[in-house]
Amino acid sequence: MIEKHDKKTQNTNLYVKDFPIAWTDKELRDTFSPYGELGSVVIMKDEKGSSKGFGFVDFKEFDSATKALELHQKVVEGQALYVVRHQKKGDRSR
């Protein structure tokens, strides 16, 4: 069955974790850019500027974000990436 999505449900923002702690936004961008045009890429940092080990990748197109989900469980530098669609806290708790 093919899922249909209207503009309101087309979430292009992905939550990513379990990438190498030494990665910068550039490495994260380089990993996801082959899947489509990116809107933004950010690794979340603590008050000291160190990576918290997770980040967000936002694509310009829904189909690109969907294709990038293929990276989930892909081993990069000895670590399996965790890649899922970003959900608001209220949506996650449901």
Q: For residues 58 and 71, what is the distance between their CA atoms, to the nearest angstrom?
A: 14
**pLDDT higher than threshold 90 for residue 64:** yes
Mean local confidence (pLDDT), 33-61:
96
For the chain, how big is the Rg over CA atoms in Å? 14
Mean local confidence (pLDDT), 49-72:
96
Give the CATH fold of the 12-85 domain. Answer: Alpha-Beta Plaits (3.30.70)
Tell whether pTM > 0.95: no
Query: Looking at residue 9, what is its pLDDT?
Result: 58
The whole-chain average pLDDT of the chain stands at: 88
Evaluated on CA atoms 26, 80, 51, 68, the torsion sign reads: positive
